[in-house]
């Protein structure tokens, strides 16, 4: 396993033990970076405007289109580390 992958998995574990819950924009960024790192570009259909949460998640992930898994993993690691202080 690559060093980046192991650091990413450690950051995922650390994201579940943050001392404070991040604000909603930060949570969306965490979600989007995780999805981009693990699944790649968003291929799903855009949710309807009545499903606000699903739409926000879809939009956040879709903004990362074209980012490599390695880029998303590194950004995820950096974000979680910044939240841990």
Spatial contact of 68 and 40, defined as CB atoms under 8 Å apart: no
pLDDT at position 1 is 67
Task: Return the structure tokens found at 42.
Answer: 């968003």
pLDDT at position 85 is 78
Which residues of the chain, if any, have pLDDT below 70?
1
pLDDT at position 2 is 85
Look at the pTM and tell me if it is higher than 0.75.
yes
Task: Return the structure tokens found at 62.
Answer: 């879709």
Secondary structure element (H or E) that encloses residue 53, with its range: helix 52-62
Task: Return the structure tokens found at 80.
Answer: 């979680």
Q: What CATH number is given for 3-84 in this structure?
A: 1.20.80.10
């Amino acid at each position: 396993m690559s060093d980046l992958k192991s650091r990413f998995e450690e950051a995922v574990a650390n994201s579940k033990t943050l001392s404070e819950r991040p604000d909603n924009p930060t949570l969306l960024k965490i979600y989007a970076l995780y999805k981009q790192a693990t699944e790649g570009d968003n291929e799903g259909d855009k949710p309807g405007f009545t499903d606000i949460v699903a739409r926000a998640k879809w939009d956040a992930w879709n903004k990362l289109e074209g980012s490599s898994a390695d880029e998303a993993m590194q950004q995820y690691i950096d974000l979680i580390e910044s939240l841990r202080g």
